[in-house]
Amino acid sequence: MKRLIEIIGIILIALSIVIAYANLENFPENTLTYILIIMLVSYPLYILGHRLHRTLIIFKEKLIKWSVAYAFVALFIPLLFISYTHYEQLKSETFNDYFILYKSSSSFNVEGLSFGCMYSLILFVGIRIFSTEIRRKWIPNLLIVVTLFAYGISLYVLWEDYRGIHADKGLVTNKWNGVEESIPWENVTRIYIDPYVHYARLSNKNDETHISWTMVIESDSNEDVLYRFQNLHEHDLHVGNQIKDIAQDNNIPFIISNMTEAERKWYEFELELENLPKEPFHKFFQFK
């Protein structure tokens, strides 16, 4: 009987975390609902689960620590990622209207800077909460403060770091230091479309095999500009057709690489799976 009660306690703890994460869809659009579900449903289930799983003496001793752990796992981590998501959304809404195609980072080198700060912050906070053998607690505390400061600075500095394809200006890159670079359409020598199959990585359970394609824009500056398109989407097709029209207006060669049999198989499969109109995609990829 005791073992059964302990199992029920573990189930309630897991259920409380699931409810907390499922409740994230109410934040920040309906913050009040989010807070009420956390306070009246998720957190009480979490505490009840620990009470069933542990004796009353241990429960009283570790209640505060367990509460802090709940705040870290169920609130701090997801809200940190939500803050970054809304930051990217606001940034996109601010700059995206000026471009046919927009990317929120000017290069792959700075793209993961904010993510690196986020993961470091989660690591240091986790160590501070869950490690009981730390003698010099000021060290993780200092690392948390420094990392939090670095994260905020990275968001501020990278706000105007982006790149995109502009209908009139051509290829525009705005770096974090305020330097804007552009390659006008008259300097573009060729645009190359290369379909390929992205095979799922075994190390990532959320990764899936799908058809993708890259757009390589070559110019007389000898610096190729690369954009990747994941899966098949009508919006991406619209972007591709817009750039194709610009290429034709400026007499820029627009070359489509032929698909292999494996690529064509995944291409046809995704068209059927996503119920996409075949004719516009066939026309863009130059299928008869």
Residue 257: pLDDT over 80: yes
Condensed to tens digits (0 to 9), the pLDDT of residues 163-214 reads: 999 999 899 999 888 888 889 999 999 999 999 988 877 666 666 788 899 9
Rg (C-alpha) for the chain, rounded Å, is 25
Arithmetic mean of pLDDT, 240-268 = 92
Arithmetic mean of pLDDT, 261-265 = 90
State the Cα–Cα distance between residues 173 and 181, nearest whole angstrom: 5
Give me the pLDDT at residue 224, please: 85
Going from the C-alpha of 167 to that of each of 62, 191, 236, 247, 251, the distances in angstroms are: 61, 15, 16, 10, 15
Arithmetic mean of pLDDT, 83-106 = 88
Task: Return mean pLDDT, the chain.
Answer: 88
Contact status, residue 192 vs residue 216, Cβ threshold 8 Å: yes
Give me the pLDDT at residue 251, please: 93
Give the pLDDT band (50/70/90) at residue 149. Answer: very high
Residue 2: pLDDT over 80: no
What the block records as the tokens of 114 is 């904010």
Give me the pLDDT at residue 27, please: 80
Taking the complete model, does pTM exceed 0.85, yes or no?
A: no
Give me the pLDDT at residue 203, please: 64
Give me the pLDDT at residue 288, please: 63
Going from the C-alpha of 188 to that of each of 102, 143, 194, the distances in angstroms are: 18, 47, 17
Contact status, residue 148 vs residue 114, Cβ threshold 8 Å: no
DSSP 26: G
- How far, in whole angstroms, is CA 274 from its chain's centroid? 22
State the Cα–Cα distance between residues 222 and 245, nearest whole angstrom: 23
How deeply is 211 buried, as exposed, middle or buried, from its count of CB atoms within 10 A (0-12, 13-18, 19+)? buried
Of 4-8, 10-14, 65-69, 273-277, the poorest mean pLDDT is in 4-8
| pLDDT over 90, % of the chain | 44
Give me the pLDDT at residue 132, please: 72
Give me the pLDDT at residue 254, please: 94
Condensed to tens digits (0 to 9), the pLDDT of residues 26-51 reads: 787 788 888 899 999 999 999 998 88
Arithmetic mean of pLDDT, 204-228 = 84
Q: What is the largest CA-CA distance in the chain?
A: 79
What are residue 189's phi and psi, to 5 degrees?
A: -100, -25
| Closest alpha carbon to 258 in 229, 288, 287 | 287
State the Cα–Cα distance between residues 88 and 81, nearest whole angstrom: 11
DSSP 175: -
Give me the pLDDT at residue 204, please: 66
Tell me how many helices (H) and strands (E) the chain has.
11, 8
What the block records as the tokens of 77 is 């981590």
Give me the pLDDT at residue 205, please: 66
Q: How many CA atoms lie within 13 A of 193 on its CB side?
A: 20
State the Cα–Cα distance between residues 49 and 43, nearest whole angstrom: 10
- How far, in whole angstroms, is CA 61 from its chain's centroid? 39
